[in-house]
Amino acid sequence: MKRRGSRAGDEAAVPRPDAWEIALKLLAMRALSREELRRRLARRGVPPEQISATLAKLTAARYLDDGEYARAWARSRAHRRSLGPTRLAQELRAKGIAERDIAGAVQEVYAERGAREVAEAAAMRRLPALQGLSPEVARRRLAGYLSRRGFAAEIILALCRKHFPHGNDPPGNDQ
């Protein structure tokens, strides 16, 4: 009777998937940037020269396109999560996307729907949670919320003034 289980000798008999197969499986699960895929392949013990060759092959076959990935990521995050340009750029940098691709993606996303419009949508979702607070506290919390989402100061200030007009504004900053 043969026992089931793994032995040290049995592991050598099982062929290990190559970098191409691993990369395709990872990309089948979800889109990845070139840098994310490189990190994941390295974590799985794929040698650096094999990673470089696989990434080049995937790019040539158009399975890997950081520009397209950046545009899709930015569009999704801007509209679903109501993130501003600064936050989108920060997240794309963390994913290893080149600055030219980041700039193009952010510009394209906010050409479709302006940053002010996205910020307004984020503010409208946040307003119910601010009811019952003093106007000063509500403005401060709304400003912090929009700032963390990556919107510009002038957009934040305009929205705070619009939704909480009786707060103490610094003199000379009327818009």
Residue 90 structural domain? 66-112
Please tell me the predicted confidence (pLDDT) of residue 166: 66
Are the C-beta atoms of 32 and 26 separated by less than 8 Å? Answer: yes
- When divided into structural domains, the chain yields a total of 2
pLDDT (0 to 100) of residue 56: 95
Distance spanning both ends of the chain, measured CA to CA: 85
pLDDT at 165: 83
Quick check: is 3 in a domain? no
In this structure, are residues 92 and 71 in contact, taking their beta carbons and an 8 Å threshold? no
In angstroms, rounded to a whole number, what is the distance separating the alpha carbons of residues 10 and 21?
A: 22
pLDDT, averaged in runs of 10, over the chain (175 residues): 53 69 92 94 93 94 92 88 92 95 93 89 94 92 96 95 72 43
Closest by CA to 109, choosing from 84, 91, 136, is: 84
pLDDT at 4: 55
In a domain, 104, yes or no: yes
- What pTM, to 2 d.p., does this model score? 0.75
E strand or H helix at 15, and its extent?
none
Amino acid of residue 108: E
